[in-house]
Chains A and B, each alone.
Chain A
Amino acid sequence: MKTAYWLAGVTALALAQPAAAGDTIKIGFVSTFSGPTAVIGNDMRNSFELALDHLGHKMGGKPVEVIYEDDTFKPDVGKQKTEKLILSDKVDFIAGYIWSNVLLASLKPIVDSKTIMVDANAGPSQLAGELCSPYVFSTSWQNDQTPAAMGLYMNQKGVKSVFLIGPNYAAGKDMLTGVKSTFKGEIKGEEYTVWPTQLDFSAELSKARASGAASIFVFYPGAAGVQFLNQYSQAGLKAQMPLYTAFTIDETTLPLQKDNAIGVPGAQEWVNDLPNEQNKKFVADYRKKYPGMRPSFYGAQSYDAAQLINSAVVAVKGDTSKKDEMKAAMEKADFKSVRGAFKYGNNHIPIQNFYLQDVVKDAAGQLSLKTVATIVKDDQDRFHDKCPMK
């Protein structure tokens, strides 16, 4: 399936046509644009485009061209598309990546070609630790951080014991390890499900109930989160075993989860109501540009990715051959992030706050996410010591 879009606009195209390579800033963007998780990819693309609108479709005075590629939710396809962007499109930057397993498969061609990469979502522990690279920057988090924040919140709530359920792939394992790293109560059980084909969680829910745990923690991104919440509420567990989540409820899934999501807490580094100016502008303009839609954290991280790339290009005045200078500029995280200011750790993973979010009905009567509290301030991932970069 061909999903290359030249959305840089008519002006950019007209300018780019006669010009040789080097006169435009080329960015490759890999995400999922087909299948059930296309809503996430669309949100990322919408936000990235919105950031370009805000930048006037120019970085360091040069027009920007973005090539979007669909990983179809598969690591092998993601790797192929990454190689295509690097070898045949010769992009200056590469960005995107929802899934940890897709990113891990695509990492080698990126690092080998020394292409600067901005990872807008996936946060495998390997990338923060032994596989960290000077060319890779994250505008998201390391997978363990968000569930670890959730674990801290569960301690605050005095939760005695928990049953963990998650998908059997790189991120799923990180997530459950993350909760275990901070949660002080008893872990009554731990189940992994086949990813992404397993759709029915009845066996796991039955086990969770039988375990006698006081609560359940899950990580199910995208459509799986909708399915899990459906089945969790139908099993009547909502009253018996409160649910705690990471990356299971967001603006892409909420329209389908509806009332099932009310009262289910989640942890996140970005929430749509964070009170900084850049965020207000991002959320308001997103809703204006894409009527009826709301940005999710995936979008927020993609918006930041565009801004981070811009900060690098501006620092070298559009000369993208100066990679070391761009790298140094990016390490400062010198741009207005929609999550508020943050610093980079030695492994190029943000050191940032994590918030508790809850589902509420907003003024318009629509379900939306709301910041309830700050769970942890300036949190750094647990793997930065394993990263050889200093």
Chain B
Amino acid sequence: MLLVVEQFLNGLQFGLLLFLLAAGLTLVFGIMDLVNLAHGSLYMMGAYFAATFVAWSGNFVIGVVLALGATLLLGIVLEVVALRHLYGRDHLDHVLATFGLILFFNDAVRLIWGPAGLALPLPAWLTVPVQIVPGVFYPAYRLAIIVVALAVALMLYLVVMRTRIGMLIRAGASNREMIGALGINIKLLYTLVFGLGAALAGLAGMMQAPILTVQIGMGENILILAFVIIVIGGIGSIRGAFLAAILVGMIDTLGRAFLPDLLRKVLSSAAASTAAPALSSMLIYLLMAIVLVVRPEGLFPASRR
């Protein structure tokens, strides 16, 4: 029973981390209609910035805050220099251009930081396990991820639903021509949205870095999951991204946690051990396929028109 609690927490934590990545992606995709494959590169840059600034400042929190600013800035520069010229073009052009950016960033990182990767060590107060309920210990850092991601989700909700900027963002998502005709500086809005998306990706990267490694190409595998999430949740919908991310995190983690034992009841132990990981990693794609067939607009689409 305690194990079940722990596995739910694992699923929640993984889902929330995916949410940070997917939120930025869905903002950019939904509002700017830009397919940004380089979102994973921004995730990577966030992690590299964090590792660099933490090592430089000697303080985890200061380093992370600096890195967040750096990723935001990088996103804005990237939008102004490269992506601005792609709006209104075909999605294939977006894919090609942003794929080029992935290669660019990977090699830039190789040149600047070398091929070996970096370590982002945690401060001592985040490395101890915390007892949540008697008998259930949970790593403090994973709890920190849950708290930070929930705070970000709340902040995003407030910004998008309760502020003027948020209103403009929502308006831009439903009808960009009209909002331009009403005299809103849509260019500036897009730059801001892209910067925000980049900062979110960077935040996901730097939150994930102490658990995983800071590596070239670290954003590529996880970006696939982020795309799955925005397809399931509905493109452009932050609420959709939030719920779908938690759903995907849960399915992935609980699948890995309990499927092997379930399969062992029907299959031989060896066959179950082999089949279970393959099957559990398939579950989320199955879910995506079903969503695409039954509700192509996603489970929680952004309200349009």
Binding site for B on A (CB under 8 A): 34-36, 38-39, 42, 168, 173, 190-194, 197-200, 202-204, 206-207, 209-210, 223, 226-227, 230-231, 233-236, 252, 255-258
Q: Tell me how many residues of B have a C-beta within 8 Å of chain A.
A: 46
Specify the main secondary structure of chain B where it touches its partner.
helix
Within 8 A of A (CB), among B210-259: 210-213, 215-218, 221-222, 253-254, 256-257
**Complex A-B: 29 CB contacts under 8 Å:** A38-B216, A168-B273, A168-B274, A168-B278, A190-B269, A191-B273, A192-B274, A193-B277, A194-B278, A194-B280, A197-B281, A203-B10, A203-B253, A206-B7, A207-B3, A209-B137, A223-B117, A223-B215, A226-B119, A226-B212, A227-B211, A231-B139, A231-B211, A234-B142, A236-B128, A255-B119, A256-B117, A256-B213, A258-B119
Min CB gap A226→B, angstroms: 5
Within 8 A of A (CB), among B58-88: none
Picked from A191, A194, A203, A234, the residue with its CB within 8 Å of the CB of B281 is A194
Residues from chain B with a CB closer than 8 A to the CB of A199 are: 211-212, 221-222
Other A-B contacts than A230-B213, A236-B137, 17 sampled, CB-CB below 8 A, are A34-B217, A36-B213, A190-B273, A191-B273, A192-B277, A193-B277, A197-B221, A197-B281, A198-B256, A198-B281, A200-B211, A202-B253, A206-B10, A210-B3, A226-B213, A233-B127, A234-B122
Alpha-carbon distance A116/B213, docked complex (angstroms): 37
Alpha-carbon distance A373/B282, docked complex (angstroms): 44
Task: Find the B residue at minimum CB distance from A191.
Answer: B260
Task: Find the B residue at minimum CB distance from A164.
Answer: B273
Alpha-carbon distance A35/B213, docked complex (angstroms): 13
Picked from A207, A234, A236, the residue with its CB within 8 Å of the CB of B211 is A234
**A168-B278, A210-B3 are contacts. A234–B117 as well, Cβ < 8 Å?**
no
Residues from chain B with a CB closer than 8 A to the CB of A227 are: 211-213
Picked from A39, A200, A231, the residue with its CB within 8 Å of the CB of B117 is A39
Task: Find the B residue at minimum CB distance from A36.
Answer: B215
Residues from chain B with a CB closer than 8 A to the CB of A36 are: 117, 213, 215-218
Q: Which 8 pairs across A and B sit closest by C-beta, in order of nearness? A: A236-B129, A202-B10, A36-B215, A210-B3, A203-B257, A234-B139, A168-B277, A206-B6
Task: Find the A residue at minimum CB distance from B126.
Answer: A234
Alpha-carbon distance A357/B241, docked complex (angstroms): 46
Interchain CB contact under 8 A, A204 and B215 = no
Alpha-carbon distance A229/B215, docked complex (angstroms): 16
Contact of B121 with A by CB under 8 A = yes
Picked from B13, B121, B129, B213, the residue with its CB within 8 Å of the CB of A202 is B13
Task: Find the A residue at minimum CB distance from B282.
Answer: A194
Min CB gap A385→B, angstroms: 21
Alpha-carbon distance A259/B207, docked complex (angstroms): 20
Residues from chain B with a CB closer than 8 A to the CB of A38 are: 115, 216
Interface contact tally, CB-CB below 8 A? 117
Contact of B49 with A by CB under 8 A = no
Task: Find the A residue at minimum CB distance from B17.
Answer: A200
Contact of B2 with A by CB under 8 A = yes
Alpha-carbon distance A39/B141, docked complex (angstroms): 28
Min CB gap B286→A, angstroms: 15
Residues from chain B with a CB closer than 8 A to the CB of A173 are: 274
Min CB gap B178→A, angstroms: 42
Alpha-carbon distance A193/B252, docked complex (angstroms): 12
Alpha-carbon distance A235/B143, docked complex (angstroms): 11
Task: Find the A residue at minimum CB distance from B224.
Answer: A197
**A36-B218, A230-B211, A234-B139 are contacts. A206–B277 as well, Cβ < 8 Å?**
no
Residues from chain B with a CB closer than 8 A to the CB of A42 are: 115
Min CB gap B293→A, angstroms: 25
Alpha-carbon distance A35/B220, docked complex (angstroms): 10
Interchain CB contact under 8 A, A234 and B218 = no
Contact of B276 with A by CB under 8 A = yes
Interchain CB contact under 8 A, B2 and A210 = yes
Alpha-carbon distance A191/B253, docked complex (angstroms): 13
Residues from chain A with a CB closer than 8 A to the CB of B253 are: 200, 202-203
Alpha-carbon distance A236/B122, docked complex (angstroms): 13
Picked from B2, B139, B222, the residue with its CB within 8 Å of the CB of A235 is B139
Residues from chain B with a CB closer than 8 A to the CB of A200 are: 10, 14, 211-212, 253
Alpha-carbon distance A173/B10, docked complex (angstroms): 25
Residues from chain B with a CB closer than 8 A to the CB of A34 are: 217
Task: Find the A residue at minimum CB distance from B115.
Answer: A38
- Pick from A199, A202, A209, A231 the residue with the most CB of B within 10 Å: A202
Alpha-carbon distance A378/B254, docked complex (angstroms): 44
Min CB gap B126→A, angstroms: 8
Min CB gap A75→B, angstroms: 15
Residues from chain B with a CB closer than 8 A to the CB of A168 are: 273-274, 277-278
Within 8 A of A (CB), among B129-162: 129, 137, 139-142
Interchain CB contact under 8 A, B14 and A202 = yes
Task: Find the B residue at minimum CB distance from A35.
Answer: B217
Min CB gap B174→A, angstroms: 36
Residues from chain A with a CB closer than 8 A to the CB of B217 are: 34-36
Residues from chain B with a CB closer than 8 A to the CB of A203 are: 7, 10-11, 253-254, 256-257
Min CB gap A106→B, angstroms: 22
Contact of B192 with A by CB under 8 A = no
Min CB gap A168→B, angstroms: 4
Min CB gap B121→A, angstroms: 7
Min CB gap A232→B, angstroms: 10
Residues from chain B with a CB closer than 8 A to the CB of A190 are: 269, 273
As a 0/1 sequence over residues 262 to 283 of chain B, the CB contacts with chain A under 8 angstroms (1 = contact) are 0000000100011011101100
Residues from chain A with a CB closer than 8 A to the CB of B221 are: 197, 199
Residues from chain B with a CB closer than 8 A to the CB of A193 are: 256, 277
Contact of B116 with A by CB under 8 A = yes
Interchain CB contact under 8 A, A236 and B139 = yes
Min CB gap B51→A, angstroms: 10
Residues from chain A with a CB closer than 8 A to the CB of B127 are: 233-234
Contact of B118 with A by CB under 8 A = yes
As a 0/1 sequence over residues 1 to 40 of chain B, the CB contacts with chain A under 8 angstroms (1 = contact) are 0110011001101100000000000000000000000000
